[in-house]
Amino acid sequence: MLITPYVDAIYHQFTIPVRPGLNLDRVVYSFIIFRKNITLIDTGVSGSETKIFETIQSHGRSPSGISLIILTHAHPEHIGAARTIQNETGCSIAAHPSDKPWIEYVDLQNRERPVPGFSSLVSRPI
């Protein structure tokens, strides 16, 4: 969803398995800022990189143009694809210092703030 000529919003749908037979449908947005380099705000859950890369390519740009990911906070639906995107593009990642433990040690986050299906939402620590 193009917001301005330089900003695109990506709508990510995902499901949290609460218990057998009960799933919670959720959504989260990523924002792509197109300038000389590309900045990505939040990455969605693990696997969202495909939709992000396709959106970037639909603008005639390459995902390798991502220079920075800004993580607004450490919840899994915001950081889930960050490691994969960083590995693919070599981009830097910026986040608030207080979120660093949960971003770098996702198992710690899962212990301190358990979310059903957590491991399916986050690809790896960043």
Give the chain's domain count. 1
- At 37, the pLDDT band (50, 70, 90 cuts) reads very high
Residue 55 lies in a domain: yes
pTM score, whole prediction: 0.91
Q: What CATH number does the domain containing 14 carry? A: 3.60.15.10
d(Cα 18, Cα 72) in Å, to the nearest integer?
25
d(Cα 121, Cα 15) in Å, to the nearest integer?
9
d(Cα 40, Cα 91) in Å, to the nearest integer?
10
Q: Which residues pair with 19 in a beta bridge?
A: 22
Summarize pLDDT for 66-93 with one digit per residue, the tens.
Answer: 999 999 999 999 999 999 999 999 999 9
Residue at token pair 């207080």: 98
Residue 121 lies in a domain: no
Residue 97 lies in a domain: yes
